[in-house]
Structure 1
Amino acid sequence: MRELIRTNDAVILSFAESLMKDAGIACMIADQSMSVLEGSLGLLPRRFLVEEARGAEARLILVEAGLESELVA
């Protein structure tokens, strides 16, 4: 899996997940269970991961959707 986004914004994560599902690209949001440690404050960022083989395609989809500023380097 390749990390494309690291954020604590649930709306961005949900939007990115929806885009990947529409494109048929496997994805997952990692670190969701960390809220147990932080007390549900939303301080720790979640990681949006996509399948390695389609990482470039996923990145292009996110850029075209206006999420370029959210992408990790």
Structure 2
Amino acid sequence: MKLLLSTTDPTVIAFAQALLAGEDIDSFVMDVHMSTLEGGIGLFPRRMMVADRDLYRARVVLKDNDIPDGL
């Protein structure tokens, strides 16, 4: 798995997941439950991971839709 996206904005994660699913690219979001530790203030970024073989295609999808990678 490779890191594709890191952001504190949950709407960006949801939009990126929808776009990748439309292109048949599986993704996995890490650090989703960190808000319970931080008190829900959005301090820690969520990370979106994709398979090594899908990384290039996923980056193209995000770039074509003006989603910054946050890396």
TM-score (norm 1): 0.89
Map of 1:7 onto structure 2: 7
Alignment of 1:1-73 (within 5 A): 1-67=1-67, 70-73=68-71
Kept after mapping to 1: 8 A contact 2:7/2:70: no
Off by >2 Å, runs of 4+ in structure 1: none
Bigger fraction of residues in helix: 1
Aligned partner of residue 36 in structure 1, secondary structure: helix
Which consecutive residues of structure 1, in runs of 5 or more, have no partner in the other structure?
A: none
Which consecutive residues of structure 2, in runs of 5 or more, have no partner in the other structure?
A: none
Once the two structures are superposed, residues 12-61 of structure 1 have per-residue CA deviations (whole angstroms, 9 ceiling, x without a partner) of 10110001100111101100011111011111100011111110010001
Question: 1:54 corresponds to which letter in structure 2?
Answer: D
The count of corresponding residues between Structure 1 and Structure 2 is 71
How far apart are the structure 2 equivalents of 1:26 and 1:45?
20
Q: CA RMSD in A?
A: 1.1
